[in-house]
């Protein structure tokens, strides 16, 4: 009798527990912005550049809270398609726009509601840096920036009031190297397939970005000159993959990476000495005290750009809060925070206000540091006298050769990429 | 008889919750996967249709014997080889660990303690394991340091990491437990007097093992094998991490297709993977009738 009673009690408690868990799950399903006080924004993105400091500062300044939904680049896109109501704001890359815009799941963003719109860098709005045209192969932001209307599913070729994403952050990517293990200058993308680094090279296993790095290498080797690297024909994809398949079979690559941390580990452990890399990964290796250089190369950089979008169902107060958040984001504090990580803020003049003069000179002007350069977390990134890899903003962004891209033959490209991995 | 008849509706009622779970979370999604594998798709949506293109693409070039072996066959072949080697080692190691636990460790407390020790590989996350293999097996890792300092090798051994070897090592490290548990369970059910009888009749240790213990452990061995084989067939994380993303797996192909929203193609691959895995399990259950043995 006693036994059965205990069992019944236990059943009761566990049912209650299950009920509570299910209830909590249900609650999460509702739109987060509901109550009139302490609004919470569900922020979908990779969040590689977002730290606790941003959340805290945001709350102090505006009373808005952010809940991050962290996913990889590809999964962010998938979430916008499959669960368009699971977030309030999305941090996405411009190269996803050719896929996303026709689906109608994103709202055209009203530039009239963005205070700093006129100060957004010309790299986004015109494809120019300091008045000079920069490379626009691939999905350059200006190609997919403007919409024909707030609910439009088509891009406009001329500037309009409505844009796909409000630009936030961008950078010029290149190869990362271990100068202490290579012991000679590296100046070309072609070095990735140099047999000298057999078994010590790596490339990222995210097809849409990896293919662009691959194209930079193929062109640098003088094998082929693409009319547009960012929009290859089937034959061009075959050619690119053939060169990489042969290199892979010959043992050129130590590993491929698909996760940010993997690239850091490969580089820090010395398993790999030259590879595709992202800016914060370089910083992560360096803060371990291991020399690592984001090597500028003569063929130029592969650039990417990201911005904020809203789901097409957004309206009323929810929209107000999201626009308030975006305006805060562009008002300078975050811009300085991004610049200090080696990225670039979309609105440069406001970011400048929040940076010390010596920081500005190092990060943006390419001048030697006059004091130790610290990361936003307070770790040392560079000593006095050092110069930023690649130099000034104008030198780096001006040297962009192509942008991350979605190709017309994307389906074919992904299949061919899979075949290369399997070979 | 009356009692049985009276019970019957209750039995039916009791089976409803599980049946519902089974229908909603197993049968329904699987049927959906099967249906979608015949659909068409574009960049951002899947289009209801009835086409065989998804399947045709998987086996494209596979019947052309003049060319190299096709990607699909190559991937399955490599997966089968990993399956077999992993199955072999987990079986040998798992069997003897279970044998030791069942017949040489007499106190329940110690059996539990030692069992917990076997679960250690599951205490850490994939990310931590991924990081910790590098200092052990990497170019500048402990094993290579040892080989170089003792003169057993004159250059760092690169095949230790990001190779077939490291994949099998990680699989065996992780999944031996899946063999130990069911085999141990079977062994504990063996009536000790049977072993004594064999001994009294003059059988030696090896003969007892071969003629008494192994036949009686068959259900455990088959269940353990099903666990290991199904897990390895569908794996892409371990193969990805330990193979340096350079060794193919069906799971990875499905994963990439899904992240590019090529859901029908992924569904077609999943259906084929499921069919093959079920076939293997079917063959194994033909060899031994688990239901009867249990």
pLDDT confidence bin for A117, thresholds 50/70/90: very high
Chain B CA closest to residue A413: B260
Rounded to an integer, what distance in angstroms lies between the CA atom of residue B162 and that of residue A266?
11
CB pairs under 8 A between A and B: 89
For B76, nearest residue in chain A (alpha carbons): A422
Q: Closest partner residue to B246 among A75, A103, A253, by Cβ?
A: A253
Q: Is A417–B256 a contact, with Cβ atoms under 8 angstroms apart?
A: yes
Kindly report, residue by residue over A259-312, the tens digit of the pLDDT: 788 899 999 999 999 999 988 889 889 888 899 999 999 999 999 999 999 999
Question: What's the pLDDT at B7?
Answer: 57
The shortest C-alpha distance from A176 to chain B (Å) reads 18
Q: For chain B, how big is the Rg over CA atoms in Å?
A: 24
CATH topology of domain A40-172+304-353: D-Maltodextrin-Binding Protein; domain 2 (3.40.190)
Question: Residue A74: which pLDDT band, with cuts at 50, 70 and 90?
Answer: confident
Tell me which DSSP letter residue B213 carries. I
Closest partner residue to A199 (CB to CB) among B130, B158, B240 is: B158
Which residues have CB under 8 Å from B252's CB, separation 6+? A421, B236, B239, B240, B245
| A411 contacts in chain B (CB < 8 Å) | 43, 260, 262
**B81 and A CB contact within 8 Å:** no
> How much of chain A exceeds pLDDT 90, in percent?
63
What is chain A's mean pLDDT, rounded? Answer: 87
Its CATH class, for the domain covering B69-293, is mainly alpha
Q: What is the distance, to the nearest Å, from the Cα of residue B253 to the centroid of all Cα atoms in its chain?
A: 18
Question: What's the burial of A168, exposed, middle or buried (CB within 10 Å: 0-12/13-18/19+)?
Answer: buried
Of residues B181 and A28, the one with the higher pLDDT is B181
Answer yes or no: do B44 and A253 touch at CB < 8 A.
no
More confident residue, B66 or B239: B239
Asked if B257's CB is within 8 angstroms of A414's CB, the reply is yes
What's the first-to-final CA gap in chain B, in angstroms?
A: 26
Query: Given a cut of 80, is residue A353 above it in pLDDT?
Result: yes
Ranges of each domain in chain B = 69-293
Confidence of residue B8 (pLDDT cuts 50, 70, 90): low
CA A94 to chain centroid: 10
Query: Is there a contact between B187 and B103 (Cβ–Cβ < 8 Å)?
Result: yes
pLDDT more than 70, % of chain A: 91
CA B294 to chain A, closest CA, distance in angstroms equals 27
* C-alpha count within 13 angstroms, C-beta hemisphere, residue B264: 24
The string of pLDDT tens digits covering residues A172-209 is 999 999 999 999 999 999 999 999 999 999 999 888 88
**Six-digit token string for A230:** 């960012």
pLDDT score for A14: 43
Could you name the CATH architecture of A175-299+392-422? 3-Layer(aba) Sandwich (3.40)
Residue with tokens 């070095």: A191
Question: With an 8 Å Cβ cutoff, are B43 and A98 in contact?
Answer: yes
Mean pLDDT lowest among A214-218, A405-409, B86-90:
A405-409
Which of B32, B44, B156 has the highest number of chain A CBs within 10 A, making it the mutation to test binding with A?
B44
Name the residue in chain A with its Cα closest to that of B247.
A422
Q: Is the pLDDT higher at A205 or at A109?
A: A109
Band of the pLDDT at B158, cuts 50, 70, 90? confident
Q: What is the pLDDT of residues B115-153, one digit of tens each?
A: 888 888 788 876 677 678 888 898 888 999 999 999 888
- Whether A207 sits inside 8 A of B245 (CB atoms) is no
Exposure letters A133-161 (e unless 16+ CB within 10 A, then b)? ebbbbbbbbbbbbbbeeeebbebbeeebb
Mutate one of A210, A231, A253, A415 to test the B interface: name it (highest B CB count within 10 A): A415
**Closest Cα in chain B, distance from residue A80 (Å):** 10
Nearest CB among A256, A270, A417 relative to B244 is that of A256
Q: Is pLDDT above 70 for A220?
A: yes
Q: How far apart are the first and last CA of chain A?
A: 66
pLDDT bin (cut points 50, 70, 90) of residue B237 is: confident
Which one-letter DSSP state was computed for residue A201? Answer: E
**Tens of pLDDT along B10-35?**
778 888 999 999 999 999 999 999 99
Split at pLDDT 50, 70, 90, the class of A72 is confident
Q: Is pLDDT larger for residue A6 or for residue B144?
A: B144
- CA–CA gap between residue A45 and residue A310 (Å, rounded): 12
Residue B269 confidence (pLDDT) above 90: yes
- Structure-block tokens of residue A335: 């811009």
Contact A103 B45 (CB under 8 A): yes
Query: What average pLDDT score do residues B256-268 get?
Result: 87
- Residues of B with Cβ-Cβ distance to A415 under 8 angstroms: 57
Smallest CA–CA distance, residue A154 to chain B, in Å, is 15
Q: If DSSP codes are grouped into helix, strand and coil, which group holds residue B120?
A: helix
- Cβ contact, residue pair B43, A258, below 8 Å: no
Residue A23 has pLDDT above 70, yes or no: no
């Amino acid at each position: 009798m006693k036994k059965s009673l205990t069992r019944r009690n236990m059943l009761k408690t566990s049912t209650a527990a299950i009920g509570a868990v299910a209830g909590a799950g249900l609650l999460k399903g509702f739109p987060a912005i509901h109550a009139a006080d302490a609004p919470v924004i569900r922020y979908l993105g990779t969040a590689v550049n977002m730290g606790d400091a941003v959340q805290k500062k945001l709350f102090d300044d505006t009373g808005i809270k952010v809940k991050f939904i962290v996913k990889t680049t590809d999964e962010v896109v998938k979430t916008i398609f499959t669960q368009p109501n699971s977030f309030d704001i999305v941090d996405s890359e411009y190269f996803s726009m050719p896929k996303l815009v026709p689906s109608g799941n994103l709202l055209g963003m009203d530039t009239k509601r963005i205070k700093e719109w006129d100060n957004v860098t010309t790299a986004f709005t015109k494809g120019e840096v300091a008045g000079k045209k920069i490379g626009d192969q691939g999905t350059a932001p200006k190609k997919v920036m403007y919409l024909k209307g707030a609910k439009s599913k088509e891009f406009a070729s001329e500037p309009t009031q409505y844009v796909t994403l409000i630009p936030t952050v961008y950078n010029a990517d290149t190869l990362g190297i271990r100068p202490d293990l290579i012991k000679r200058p590296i100046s070309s993308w072609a070095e990735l397939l140099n047999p000298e680094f057999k078994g010590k090279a790596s490339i990222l296993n995210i097809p849409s970005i990896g293919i662009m790095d691959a194209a930079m290498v193929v062109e640098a080797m003088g094998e082929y000159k693409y009319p547009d690297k960012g929009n290859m024909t089937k034959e061009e994809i075959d050619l690119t993959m053939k060169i990489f398949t042969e290199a892979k079979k010959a043992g050129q690559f130590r590993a491929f990476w698909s996760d940010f941390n993997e690239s850091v580990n490969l580089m820090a452990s010395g398993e790999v000495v030259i590879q595709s890399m992202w800016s914060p990964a370089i910083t992560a290796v360096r803060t371990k005290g291991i020399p690592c250089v984001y090597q500028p190369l003569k063929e130029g950089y592969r650039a990417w750009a990201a911005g904020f979008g809203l789901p097409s169902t957004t309206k009323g107060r929810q929209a107000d809060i999201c626009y308030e958040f975006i305006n805060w984001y562009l008002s300078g504090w975050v811009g300085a925070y991004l610049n200090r990580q080696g990225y670039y803020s979309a609105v440069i003049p406001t970011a400048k206000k929040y940076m010390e003069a010596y920081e500005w000179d190092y990060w943006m002007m390419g001048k030697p540091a006059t004091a130790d350069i610290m990361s936003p977390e307070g770790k040392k990134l560079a000593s006095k006298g050092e110069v930023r890899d690649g130099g000034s903003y104008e030198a780096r962004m001006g040297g962009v050769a192509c942008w991350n891209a979605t190709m017309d033959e994307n389906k074919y490209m992904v299949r061919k990429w899979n075949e290369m991995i399997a070979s | 008889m009356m009692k049985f008849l009276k019970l019957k509706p209750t039995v039916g009622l009791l089976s409803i919750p599980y049946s519902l779970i089974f229908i909603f979370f197993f049968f329904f999604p699987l049927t959906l996967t099967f249906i979608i594998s015949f659909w068409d798709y574009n960049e951002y949506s899947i289009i209801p249709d009835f086409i065989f293109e998804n399947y045709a693409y998987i086996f494209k070039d596979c019947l052309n014997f003049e060319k190299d072996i096709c990607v699909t066959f190559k991937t399955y072949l490599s997966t089968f080889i990993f399956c077999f080697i992993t199955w072999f080692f987990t079986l040998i190691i798992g069997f003897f660990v279970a044998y030791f636990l069942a017949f040489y460790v007499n106190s329940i407390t110690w059996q539990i303690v030692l069992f917990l020790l076997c679960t250690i590989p599951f205490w850490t996350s994939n990310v931590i394991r991924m990081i910790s293999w590098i200092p052990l097996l990497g170019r500048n890792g402990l094993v290579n340091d040892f080989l170089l300092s003792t003169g057993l090798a004159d250059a760092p051994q690169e095949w230790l990491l990001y190779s077939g070897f490291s994949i099998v090592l990680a699989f065996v490290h992780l999944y031996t437990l899946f063999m130990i548990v069911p085999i141990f369970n079977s062994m504990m059910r063996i009536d000790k007097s049977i072993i004594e009888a064999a001994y009294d009749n003059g059988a030696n240790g090896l003969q007892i093992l071969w003629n008494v213990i192994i036949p009686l452990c068959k259900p455990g061995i088959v269940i353990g094998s099903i666990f290991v084989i199904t897990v390895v067939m569908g794996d892409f994380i371990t193969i990805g991490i330990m193979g340096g993303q350079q060794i193919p797996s069906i799971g990875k192909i499905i994963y990439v297709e899904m992240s590019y929203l090529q859901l029908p193609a992924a569904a077609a691959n999943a259906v084929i993977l499921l069919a093959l895995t079920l076939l293997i399990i079917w063959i194994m259950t033909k060899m031994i009738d688990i239901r009867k043995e249990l």
